[in-house]
Amino acid sequence: MKKNWSKTREGISVNLFAFPLLVIMIIFHIVIVGLIIDINNTSNQLSDLMNRSGVYKIDATSMQASNTVLSETCSNYIQSADAEHSPNVGPLMTYAREINSNRRSPKVLERFRGYDVSDEVLSCIENASNYSEQIFNIQLHAISVMSSVYPLPTMPELAQIPTVSLTPEELAMSENERILYAKNLIVKGDYAQLRYYVAENIDNCNNILQNEFNQASNATQTHVTIMRTILWVVIVSIVIILSIAFVMFYQLIIRPLRSYSKDIAENRSIKDSVGLLEMKQLVKAFNGLWNTHNQIETMLRTAAENDSLTGLPNRYCMEHDLLDDKNKTSSFAVLLFDVNFLKQSNDLHGHFAGDELLRNSAKCIKQCFNMENSNNCYRIGGDEFVALLSNCSEQDIKDRIKNFENVLKENNISISVGYSYVDSKEKASFVEMMAEADKKMYANKKSIHEQLKYTR
């Protein structure tokens, strides 16, 4: 009796339900991961199928479009000729360019043979390509017959059109007969029927592709629906199991622990939510540490990227901004500034006056050249500043400089400025633009000093 009473006091071992629960949860998680992966893979396969189907249909349609262009331009060329007037070679220029395009039937057929399409689709493309080549040969024959009457001009584009040797019977025809014969080649006979066959096979190809996509899409959607249903069943099962486990843990662990609170009352006070309280304390401590870390990082970044005297970003920040700028097509301007007479100000009034001159200079530069929502003005040296402007015109730069000169006069400050402008960043490197701006800036500085010397 004493032994049984002891077991009751000790309670039920956690291993009796914790280990089976752990195994069940692991299995369920594996199933969930497998279902999610399967759903994602199936969705990706459907998306890939949709993209490939669109590419296939566009490629197939391009064959028909190319066939139409060749037919229309050849027909316009042939039909524009008569016994008194030579044909218009303008359409033939378009014809020559279309011959080398990627839409021509042999190139489309070659691509389709590398695609993952059914034999039925490939058969339609092969038939369309065969008919297109027959049409193409008839066109070349008609052009060769017409050029025997009206030779083609010597032009590189027209030289790309293959020639067809005429039979003795065709050469024996009169010029009028050959003109009529060329027209009949693209009007009568099997020519129109061949064009119909091309369009029919392309339409069949697109219909087959669409049907195959619809079937695959329906099967995929059905599969995804089933997998999602299973996923929800597993999730609901997990919720039920976790609810049961919580009740068991509460009855078998939490409530007994509450009775043990008297044994540790002298050391600490533990409430029912002691675990949650500890977690809250951990989160609070972590958040405090994290906030401190962020504050320190912000202070270090500010010190590294900003000039403490003027408050402007420094050279390091400028180089970092240039590396981050991925827009290579916008217009771009580099303006280089040099504060005049800084040394004289330091020598005559002290370094505090020089510092004030630099601060006021920075304010003037920022006032006139800072772009909206952007810190694009930098102090890169003792008395040197740079402004980087994007998406601007050269006239805008000139207007800003003119306004800058007026602001300098109002503040009794002298600053030399030079700029370099390109309508696209790809046209010049930053080093080249800095060199050009530097050259103009020193020219401006020389002009200011000479003007001051002349005034004296």
Each residue's pLDDT tens digit in the chain (456 positions)? 444 433 434 445 556 656 777 888 888 789 888 888 888 887 787 788 788 888 888 888 988 888 899 889 989 988 888 767 788 888 888 888 888 887 788 888 888 888 888 899 889 989 999 999 898 899 889 899 988 888 888 888 888 888 889 899 988 899 889 889 988 888 877 888 888 888 999 999 899 888 988 888 888 888 888 888 888 888 888 888 888 777 666 655 565 555 545 555 545 444 554 443 344 443 344 446 656 766 666 666 666 678 889 989 999 888 888 887 777 778 899 999 999 988 888 888 888 999 999 999 999 999 999 887 778 899 998 899 999 998 889 999 999 999 999 999 999 999 999 999 998 888 888 899 999 999 999 999 998 888 876 655
Asked whether the CA dihedral 355, 356, 357, 362 is positive or negative, the reply is: positive
Q: Indicate whether 104 and 246 sit together in one domain.
A: yes
- Taking the CB of residue 63, how many other CB atoms lie within 10 A of it? 26
pLDDT of residue 1: 40
Q: Indicate whether 152 and 219 sit together in one domain.
A: yes
Total domains present in the chain: 2
pLDDT of residue 302: 62
108 located within any domain: yes
Q: Indicate whether 203 and 345 sit together in one domain.
A: no
Q: Indicate whether 17 and 84 sit together in one domain.
A: yes
299 located within any domain: no
CB distance 152 to 129 below 8 Å: no
Q: Which of 239, 258, 277 is the endpoint of a domain?
A: 258
298 located within any domain: no
88 located within any domain: yes
Phi, psi of 81 (to 5 degrees): -100, 150
Those residues whose C-beta lies under 8 Å from the C-beta of residue 419, and which sit 6 or more positions away, are: 333, 334, 335, 336, 397, 401, 437, 440
pLDDT of residue 372: 78
Q: Which of 258, 276, 294 is the endpoint of a domain?
A: 258
Q: Indicate whether 246 and 167 sit together in one domain.
A: yes
Q: Which of 212, 227, 258 is the endpoint of a domain?
A: 258
Q: Indicate whether 374 and 448 sit together in one domain.
A: yes
Q: Indicate whether 338 and 231 sit together in one domain.
A: no
Is 0.85 surpassed by the pTM of this model?
A: no
Q: Indicate whether 21 and 137 sit together in one domain.
A: yes
Q: Indicate whether 127 and 218 sit together in one domain.
A: yes
pLDDT of residue 38: 82
4 located within any domain: no
445 located within any domain: yes
pLDDT of residue 18: 66
207 located within any domain: yes
What domain range includes position 202?
A: 12-258
Provide the pairing of β-strand 377-379 with 415-422. unpaired
Q: Indicate whether 226 and 359 sit together in one domain.
A: no
CATH number at residue 444: 3.30.70.270
d(CA 205, CA 105) in angstroms, rounded, equals 14
4-46 tens-digit pLDDT: 433 434 445 556 656 777 888 888 789 888 888 888 887 787 7
d(CA 127, CA 109) in angstroms, rounded, equals 10
Q: Indicate whether 249 and 359 sit together in one domain.
A: no
341 located within any domain: yes
Tokens of 428: 């010049």
Q: Indicate whether 38 and 180 sit together in one domain.
A: yes
pLDDT of residue 455: 56
